[in-house]
Homo-oligomer: A and B are copies of this chain.
Amino acid sequence: MHRTKVRVVEDALDANDTIARANRADFDGASVSVVNLMSAPGAGKTALLERVLARNLDGLRVGVLEGDVQGSFDADRLSLLHVPVTQLNTDPGFGGECHLDANMVRSALPKMPLDDIDLLVIENVGNLVCPAEFRVGEDARAMVCSVTEGEDKPLKYPLMFRTCSLVVVNKVDLLPHLDFDLDHFFENLDAVNPGVDRMLVSARTGEGVDAFRDWLVEVAARV
């Protein structure tokens, strides 16, 4: 039973990569850079985007694809900033999946204003496991990790931390009130993804978010 399951999973991942490449080609055709933004539930992806998108990004036109199991709470928040937001729910239609995959993103392409944006931020479903397994056609992957989650997370969810080229450490305004050991966290991070880019931010106070804004601008400039 397990061997069958592993084979089915491998086939599914191969199929996913094929569709991810088709997405990539469509993004390239529209000259759109794409960031896949991931985190655990409540780590602050949306709050970070609210901070970053409230100001002009060097004239960059940004759109957001908002991935959730249900509802449109985050999309509603971001829409207030007059950013074009497309909602993509995994339930109904995709079995309530705990992640976005290339096919789901492909299904949302016709609804996205690709010709009117330069950068697409895909806010994935809050989950540290499966989102890391599915390429969706992105140029870069970033994750948000909150200091309230504990120092051990890179070791417990290594694929997620390994697959990202940027780790945004959020909620640093809470550090004085926590037992969180930042050095220990970075040791664990380097154990699974040595030297990966990292930045300390507080989406709540705005501290450090300029660095994430600059990173987005830099990703968009790569194309």
Contacts and interface: CB of A to CB of B under 8 A. Distances in A.
Instruction: State which size class the interface on A falls in.
Output: 35 or more
Contacts of A41: 40, 128, 149, 153, 156-157
Contacts of A194: none
Contacts of A148: 42, 146, 148, 171, 174
A81 B78 CA distance: 46
A159 interface: yes
Contacts of A94: 2, 5
A191 to B, nearest CB: 11
Contacts of A152: 73
**Copies of the polypeptide in the assembly:** 2
A2 B158 contact: no
A107 to B, nearest CB: 9
Nearest to A94: B2
B98 A156 contact: no
29 contacts: A2-B93, A5-B94, A40-B126, A41-B149, A41-B153, A41-B156, A41-B157, A42-B146, A42-B148, A42-B149, A69-B129, A69-B156, A69-B159, A70-B155, A70-B158, A71-B156, A73-B152, A73-B155, A73-B156, A96-B133, A96-B159, A98-B127, A126-B157, A127-B128, A130-B130, A146-B148, A148-B171, A148-B174, A174-B178
